[in-house]
Each structure stands twice: as C-alpha cells, then as structure tokens.
C-alpha cells in the first residue's frame, strides 16, 4: 500500500501571500530576541512556549539566524520559492498526510533538544542546541525535488554533514548511517488513514558513509534568514539535494553509524516505489508516474503559478555526486 500522492495544481491553501522580506518586521524581531541578546550576528536557537503560540502564523517561533553565503551555492538557476508558500506546503508525515500540515506541526517540542551520535565511531557524543550552533554555519541555496514531481528553491542555513562525521571518526567497519526523527505517539500522531499505529515509526532514513561525507550533504538548522519553522523539521534536518525530498529526515534526534544498510521508513512501506538510494534520475520513473519533468512551485515568487520543466540528473548536482554512483547499473 502506498500513501504518497501527486497534488493537483488547484489543491493549494487559500491565503494571501506577501513577499518573504515583508516578514522581517520589527514585531517578529522583538519577539524573537527578547531575553536572548544580540551579541553576534548568529543568534541561538529557541522556541515558543506552547501557551503563547499563534496558529495563524506559519512562521511563529522563528528568530533571526545569519551566516555567510557559501559562494558555490548562491544561485540555483531558479528564483527562490516564496517563503510563506514554502512554509505552508509541506510533507511531514509524522503529523499527517496533508500538505497543509504546518498547524499540526506546531505541537513539536523543540527545546530542549539533543542529537545523539553513536554506533561504530571513536567519539560518540550527544549534542544539544548550543553545541549545534558551534559548527561553522553557512547559507546554501539548494534546489529541492520531491518524489511527487514538484520542486522548490530554498536558502538553507546550517553546516556540512561531513563536519559531524569528522568529529565522530567512524570506524572502518561503519558503512552506513541511520538518521532517526523525533517520535512520540501522543504528539506525532501521523495520518488518520492508514491508522498510524501500523506504520514503521519512528521515521528513519539512511545514507552510505561516503554520501554523508560528500560536501553537498547538509544539516539545516535554519532557512530564509531565521531558524527553522517546525514544519520544516526544526531544530535540525537533513538536506541531501541530489536525492528526493523524503530522504531528508526532519527533526533528527539520533545519528547511528552501522555496518549494514539500515531499514528506512518509506522503503519499508513500499520498497519498489521508494528505493534506499532514491537519487533524482529523470530516466528512472516512479512505478506510478514519470520523473522526466517536475513542476516548480511558485516560480518568480508567485505561489499560485506552476511551471513544468525537465528534471535534471541528480537534480542538477552531478558535478558533486556523480562519482558516487555507477549509472551503468541503472
């Protein structure tokens, strides 16, 4: 049984959209930094108390987060996706199957937060939010490609995965990495159909160690100049832009180095539709639809516009990752 579906262009939330810059207003800035201080250009992660959340604001709880742009990733060849649309058109299956998942995602508790790095490593460690902020942060503008054949362009803020890998020092026996997302059956209640209790929680994803070591692999702790909204997978998520979006586990709590390919969420549900590798390959169709083209969500800042364009091998990042794979085996 398969649960992902392709949305129709008219299946969009009805709201009035303003340009992203409109949200950098005085009220949000003051709300975010009260009690934090502005000693540097990079501000620490935080979260709102549940009792003060306003569910009418999909960017609630975020605070400014600045980092230098990586010069290799300042132009994705397409316009940035309108921020408000990106914040309200999401897959986050832990909270349900709707694209309008952001109100439900506000129940995600993000502070305190820890990420446990363990398994076949010399230096196991548990990172808290302050620890994550000590990695050298940068901004990267990446193309994002969903397996459902829609695409966005997002300016992520975070750090290369290889920095955490290097700190952990994997043993020679470590061949894969398993990423586990936050799960609490009373909070991350999943979809109503099929019944969530029959699904393989918690959400897990995996990479080969050499994929994690690739410079393109990224941990995002922010986007659009501020910390991650909860629906984007706050406070830390995977971003692997040459793969389909479901490979980017959200709200990561555990990173384990293992010697065998780990079971992953969607691959467990339907292995023939959601391969472990799941690179963007236009000539490899999904069993129920073609991957030869994709629909750009809100090109040019217009969230209601959909433009169909040809898909690109590895989502256009072949120069970074092609040497990781044997395309002759496809």
Q: Is 160 among the domain residues?
A: yes
Joined tokens for residue 248: 């980017």
What is the per-residue pLDDT for 167?
98
What is the per-residue pLDDT for 298?
76
Q: Is 90 among the domain residues?
A: yes
- State the total domains in the chain: 1
Strand bridging mode 226-227 / 114-119: unpaired
Q: Is 278 among the domain residues?
A: yes
What pLDDT digit, counting tens, does each position of 282-309 carry? 999 999 999 999 999 876 556 567 889 9
CA angle 87, 243, 310 (to 5 degrees): 85
The 10 Å CB-count burial string (b at 16+, else e) for 89-125 is bbbbbbbbbbbbbbbbbbbbebeebebebebbbeeee
Q: Is 28 among the domain residues?
A: no
298 near 304, Cβ under 8 Å?
yes
Q: Which residue has the higher pLDDT, 197 or 148?
A: 148
Residue 276 has pLDDT above 90, yes or no: yes
What pLDDT digit, counting tens, does each position of 226-273 carry? 999 999 999 999 999 999 999 999 999 999 999 999 999 999 999 999
What is the per-residue pLDDT for 194?
76
Q: Is 22 among the domain residues?
A: no
Q: Is 252 among the domain residues?
A: yes
Q: Which residue has the higher pLDDT, 154 or 21?
A: 154
**Residue among 314, 180, 182, 162 nearest 244 (CA):** 314
Q: Which domain holds residue 85?
A: 34-329
Q: What is the pTM of this model?
A: 0.83
Burial of 22 (0-12, 13-18, 19+ CB in 10 A): exposed
297 strand-pairing partners: 306
Residue 21 has pLDDT above 50, yes or no: no
Give the CATH number of the domain where residue 143 resides.
Answer: 3.90.420.10
């Amino acid at each position: 049984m398969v649960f992902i579906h392709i949305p129709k262009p008219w299946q969009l939330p009805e709201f009035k959209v303003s340009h992203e810059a409109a949200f950098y207003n005085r009220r949000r800035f003051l709300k975010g930094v009260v009690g934090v201080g502005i000693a540097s250009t990079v501000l620490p992660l935080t979260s709102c108390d549940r009792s003060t959340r306003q569910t009418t604001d999909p960017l609630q709880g975020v605070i400014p987060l600045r980092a230098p742009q990586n010069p290799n990733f300042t132009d994705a060849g397409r316009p940035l996706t309108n921020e408000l649309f990106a914040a309200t058109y999401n897959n986050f299956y832990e909270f349900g199957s709707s694209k309008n998942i952001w109100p439900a995602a506000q129940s995600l508790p993000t502070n305190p937060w820890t990420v446990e790095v363990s398994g076949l490593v010399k230096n196991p460690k548990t990172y808290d939010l302050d620890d994550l902020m000590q990695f050298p942060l940068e901004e990267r503008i990446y193309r994002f490609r969903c397996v459902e054949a829609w695409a966005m362009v997002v300016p992520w803020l975070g750090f290369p995965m290889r920095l955490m890998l290097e700190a952990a020092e994997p043993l020679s026996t470590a061949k894969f990495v398993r990423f586990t997302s936050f799960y609490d059956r009373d909070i991350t209640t999943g979809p109503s159909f099929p019944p969530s209790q029959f699904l393989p929680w918690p959400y897990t994803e995996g990479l080969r160690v050499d994929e994690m070591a690739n410079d393109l692999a990224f941990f995002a702790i922010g986007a659009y100049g501020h910390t991650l909204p909860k629906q984007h997978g706050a406070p830390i998520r995977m971003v692997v832009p040459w793969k389909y979006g479901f490979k980017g586990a959200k709200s990561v709590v555990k990173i384990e180095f293992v010697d065998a390919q780990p079971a992953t969420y969607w691959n467990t549900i339907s292995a023939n539709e959601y391969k472990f590798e799941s690179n963007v390959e236009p000539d490899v169709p999904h069993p129920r639809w073609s991957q030869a083209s994709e629909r750009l969500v809100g090109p040019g800042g217009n969230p209601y516009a959909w433009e169909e364009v040809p898909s690109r091998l590895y989502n256009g990042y072949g120069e970074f990752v092609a040497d990781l794979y044997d395309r002759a085996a496809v």
